[in-house]
């Protein structure tokens, strides 16, 4: 028995009915949010909890007002709200000034009135003058938002240092704000999307034709399994065909794929030119209404393609759908940590962005596109290391929406720290390249949520999160040197308690094993430090190197040291 047959997993469908599962998830979400407030109030200074709650509320309000066509209020309550940009900028400015006055102890009715007037005047002035001087085309754009947030963050940091007299308190506040925003903004949206059943039943005769493209480079031991699982999927055989593109492999990939050639499987070989070239070669040969991309080292669940068809049937402007990615090789602590990361981070964020129809990455292990959307995007480019991120952004810029789907795919995660580092180095360098390539989004309000949500979040996760991780380590060291053990213990206890509750909610929502929950502590406390190092090296690599070769990560099925029984 090989390693794939021995895998029994923890991610199967839960035994409880869907409605029971949804109620359980909603209950856990309420418990998580309430516990985050209560434990924060007990373990942390009260002003810190109030400050973080205020930031989250203002952030949510800004997104409500910024969306001119489909606001959060409209989606939740069916009420159309169109608020000019200067209103939400006033809220941000006024909130920051109010918090400052409160900390200085001079907040009165009179000063609060002046705060309102100053905030409105400043916002109206900025939104009026910006287009006149050619800064941007719209009233209030992401650059102004980023500047406002940056100035507000710097002022708040200085205010906390002045009030408390310690830099460590300000650093702790920074970490708490980032964590709190994820907890109170991303998680509720993800739970909401998971709880809303958007499945559309598609009659067998109405199912779209699908062409599955499998790019492969040195995937011996994997590509055969990938093809077999695609052919075994629950989808009409006459509506599904497979095209394997061997990108000049030097092992037995071509032999393994060719052995499966038949009425529904075609295999093509080309000189090595990179993954994007293999994908484009396959796209040129497809005929299906929907183009599905599956990595050769991944395999799909039986119902994946029906789930993809149901997602596309739920909206005419859905240009692509992202899959539900799960880790198959849970052999050691490194791979199990990534299993929880996929559940707690990657899939949770995709569910949250699905609310806005702006999922930023359609993963290469299983991603589906309308043929028309891929045509509008111009196919895959070879100027970045993360072609899946790049093509998704191009689809969104072309005016299509991108959703998350229940279509499940299993993929192998690196099982050594060395390989994990190499994989994340490639991912993060590719992210830097894509963000730079599409930087025009920040000045284009027509890009909608790319402009207001996706890029600010990506920039924050790449630039702010690592800084926060390092800042927390510095804050801990400074606090311990100063003898403030209570603050350190309170912060660590808070992140541990809330992190465990958060992981419990995530594994429940995804139907995963509770054995993953203990890994939430290193994932929240230690993994950001690893990411900080990787991102720093990635940025330097993007600036200094032009190498964009395929990733070289050791695979379990190709590693003679891995026992297969």
The stretch 66-91 carries a mean pLDDT of 48
Q: Supply the pLDDT for residue 478.
A: 79
Q: Supply the pLDDT for residue 322.
A: 94
Instruction: Please say if the pLDDT value at position 5 is more than 50.
Output: no
Q: Supply the pLDDT for residue 201.
A: 77
**DSSP symbol at 358:** B
Instruction: Please say if the pLDDT value at position 6 is more than 50.
Output: no
Exposed e or buried b per residue across 362-377, where buried means at least 16 C-beta atoms within 10 angstroms of its C-beta: bbbbbbbbbbebbeeb
The runs of H, that is alpha helices, within 321-362 are 333-341, 347-354
Rounded Cα–Cα distance for residues 520 and 405 (Å): 25
The 10 Å Cβ neighbour count of residue 134 is 7
Q: How confident is the model at residue 12 (pLDDT cuts 50, 70, 90)?
A: very low
Rounded Cα–Cα distance for residues 409 and 385 (Å): 22
Tokens of 181: 């925003």
Instruction: Please say if the pLDDT value at position 63 is more than 70.
Output: no
Q: What percent of the chain has pLDDT over 70?
A: 67
Instruction: Name residues whose C-beta falls within 8 Å of residue 148's C-beta, 6 or more positions apart in sequence.
Output: 89, 92, 93
The stretch 552-563 carries a mean pLDDT of 53
Q: How confident is the model at residue 564 (pLDDT cuts 50, 70, 90)?
A: very low
- Of the two residues 427 and 565, the one the predictor is more confident about is 427
Q: Supply the pLDDT for residue 131.
A: 44
**DSSP symbol at 262:** B
**pLDDT tens-digit profile of 90-132?**
555 665 566 556 656 666 655 555 565 556 555 555 554 444 3
- Of the two residues 78 and 205, the one the predictor is more confident about is 205
Tokens of 316: 């005419």
Please answer whether residues 413 and 341 qualify as being in contact, where contact means their C-beta atoms are separated by less than 8 angstroms. Answer: no
Q: Supply the pLDDT for residue 114.
A: 54
Instruction: Please say if the pLDDT value at position 17 is more than 50.
Output: no
Phi then psi for residue 500, to 5 deg, are -65, -45
Q: How confident is the model at residue 563 (pLDDT cuts 50, 70, 90)?
A: very low
Instruction: Please say if the pLDDT value at position 237 is more than 60.
Output: yes
Tokens of 189: 């949206």
**pLDDT tens-digit profile of 146-201?**
555 555 566 656 666 666 666 666 677 777 777 777 787 788 888 888 777 565 77
- Of the two residues 339 and 415, the one the predictor is more confident about is 339
Tokens of 434: 């894509």
Q: How many residues does the chain have?
A: 565
Rounded Cα–Cα distance for residues 305 and 204 (Å): 12
Rounded Cα–Cα distance for residues 362 and 386 (Å): 11
- Of the two residues 11 and 268, the one the predictor is more confident about is 268
Q: Supply the pLDDT for residue 288.
A: 93
Q: Supply the pLDDT for residue 439.
A: 86
Least reliable range by pLDDT among 65-79, 329-343, 364-378: 65-79
E-strand ranges in 140-195 read none
- Of the two residues 116 and 29, the one the predictor is more confident about is 29
- Of the two residues 464 and 408, the one the predictor is more confident about is 408
**pLDDT tens-digit profile of 202-220?**
888 889 999 999 999 999 9
- Sign of the dihedral through C-alpha 523, 526, 527, 532: positive
- Over the chain, what is the mean pLDDT? 77
Q: Supply the pLDDT for residue 37.
A: 74
Q: Supply the pLDDT for residue 85.
A: 52
Whether the model clears a pTM of 0.85, i.e. scores above it, the answer is no
Tokens of 221: 């031991």
Please answer whether residues 347 and 505 qualify as being in contact, where contact means their C-beta atoms are separated by less than 8 angstroms. Answer: no
Q: How confident is the model at residue 387 (pLDDT cuts 50, 70, 90)?
A: very high
Q: How far apart are the first and last CA of the chain?
A: 5
Please answer whether residues 292 and 308 qualify as being in contact, where contact means their C-beta atoms are separated by less than 8 angstroms. Answer: yes
Question: At 401, which helix (H) or strand (E)?
Answer: strand 401-411
Q: How confident is the model at residue 536 (pLDDT cuts 50, 70, 90)?
A: confident
Strands 240-247, 265-270: pairing is parallel
Q: Which domains are present in the chain?
A: 204-437 (3.90.550.10)
CA distances 187 to 18, 350, 476, Å, are: 19, 11, 27
Supply the angle between the helices 85-104 and 142-164 in degrees, to the nearest 10.
Answer: 10
Rounded Cα–Cα distance for residues 497 and 520 (Å): 10
The stretch 466-479 carries a mean pLDDT of 77
CA atoms within 13 A on the CB side of 97: 18
* 3-class secondary-structure state, position 509: helix
Q: Supply the pLDDT for residue 38.
A: 74
The label of the residue with tokens 């207001």 reads: 452
Rounded Cα–Cα distance for residues 308 and 324 (Å): 11
Instruction: Please say if the pLDDT value at position 457 is more than 50.
Output: yes
Instruction: Please say if the pLDDT value at position 338 is more than 60.
Output: yes
Selection from 261, 329, 249, 341 nearest residue 2 by Cα: 329
Q: Supply the pLDDT for residue 150.
A: 58
**pLDDT tens-digit profile of 473-532?**
777 887 788 787 887 788 788 888 888 888 888 888 888 888 999 999 888 888 888 888
Q: What percent of the chain has pLDDT over 90?
A: 32
**DSSP symbol at 551:** P
Instruction: Please say if the pLDDT value at position 560 is more than 70.
Output: no
Least reliable range by pLDDT among 51-65, 118-132, 316-330: 118-132
Exposed e or buried b per residue across 401-413, where buried means at least 16 C-beta atoms within 10 angstroms of its C-beta: bbbbbbbbbbbbb
The stretch 547-552 carries a mean pLDDT of 53
The label of the residue with tokens 């310690």 reads: 166
For 435, counting Cβ atoms within 10 Å of its Cβ (0-12 exposed, 13-18 middle, 19+ buried), the class is buried
Instruction: Please say if the pLDDT value at position 325 is more than 90.
Output: yes
């Amino acid at each position: 028995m090989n390693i794939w047959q021995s895998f029994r997993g923890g991610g199967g469908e839960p035994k409880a009915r869907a409605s029971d599962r949804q109620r359980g998830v909603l209950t856990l979400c309420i418990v998580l949010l309430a516990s985050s407030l209560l434990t924060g109030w007990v373990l942390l200074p009260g002003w810190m909890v109030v400050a973080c709650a205020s930031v989250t509320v203002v952030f949510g309000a800004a997104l409500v007002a910024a969306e001119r066509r489909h606001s959060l209020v409209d989606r939740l309550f069916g009420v159309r709200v169109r608020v000019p940009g200067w209103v939400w900028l006033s809220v941000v400015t006024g909130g920051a000034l109010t918090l400052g006055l409160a900390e200085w102890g001079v907040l009165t009715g009179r000063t609060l009135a002046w705060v309102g007037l100053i905030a409105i005047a400043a916002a109206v002035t900025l939104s009026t003058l910006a287009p006149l001087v050619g800064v941007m085309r719209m009233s209030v754009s992401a650059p102004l938002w980023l500047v406002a947030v940056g100035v507000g963050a710097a002022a708040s940091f200085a205010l906390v240092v002045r009030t408390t007299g310690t830099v460590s308190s300000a650093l702790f506040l920074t970490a708490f704000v980032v964590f709190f925003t994820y907890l109170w903004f991303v998680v509720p949206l993800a739970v909401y999307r998971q709880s809303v059943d958007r499945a559309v039943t598609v009659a067998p005769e109405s199912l779209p034709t699908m062409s599955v493209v499998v790019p492969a480079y040195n995937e011996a031991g994997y590509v055969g399994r990938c093809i077999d699982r695609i052919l075994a999927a629950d989808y009409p055989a006459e509506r599904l065909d497979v095209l394997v593109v061997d990108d000049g492999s030097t092992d037995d990939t071509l032999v393994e794929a060719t052995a499966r050639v038949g009425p529904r499987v075609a295999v093509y070989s080309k000189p090595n030119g990179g993954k994007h070239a293999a994908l484009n070669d396959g796209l040129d040969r497809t005929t299906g209404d929907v183009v599905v991309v599956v990595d050769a080292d991944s395999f799909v669940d039986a119902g994946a393609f029906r789930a993809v068809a149901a997602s596309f049937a739920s909206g005419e402007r859905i240009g692509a759908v992202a899959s539900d990615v799960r880790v198959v090789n849970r052999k050691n602590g490194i791979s199990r940590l990534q299993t929880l990361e996929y559940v707690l981070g990657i899939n949770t964020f995709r569910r949250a962005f699905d609310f806005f129809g702006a999922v930023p990455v359609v993963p290469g292990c299983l991603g589906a596109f309308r043929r028309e959307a891929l045509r509008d995007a111009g196919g895959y480019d070879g100027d970045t290391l993360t072609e899946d991120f790049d093509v998704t952004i191009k689809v969104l810029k072309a005016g299509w929406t991108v959703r998350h789907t229940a279509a499940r795919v299993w993929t192998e995660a690196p099982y050594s720290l060395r390989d994990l580092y190499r994989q994340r180095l490639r991912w993060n360098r590719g992210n830097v390249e894509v963000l730079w390539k599409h930087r025009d989004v920040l000045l284009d309000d027509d890009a909608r949520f790319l402009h207001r949500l996706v890029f600010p979040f990506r920039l924050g996760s790449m630039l702010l999160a690592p800084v926060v991780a390092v800042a927390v380590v510095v804050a801990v060291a400074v606090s311990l040197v100063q003898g403030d053990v209570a603050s350190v213990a309170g912060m660590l206890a808070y992140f541990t308690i809330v992190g465990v509750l958060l992981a419990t909610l995530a594994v429940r929502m995804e139907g995963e094993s509770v054995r993953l929950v203990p890994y939430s502590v290193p994932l929240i406390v230690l993994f950001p430090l690893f990411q900080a190092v990787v991102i720093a090296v990635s940025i330097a690599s993007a600036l200094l190197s032009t190498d964009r070769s395929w990733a070289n990560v050791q695979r379990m099925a190709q590693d003679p040291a891995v026992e297969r029984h």
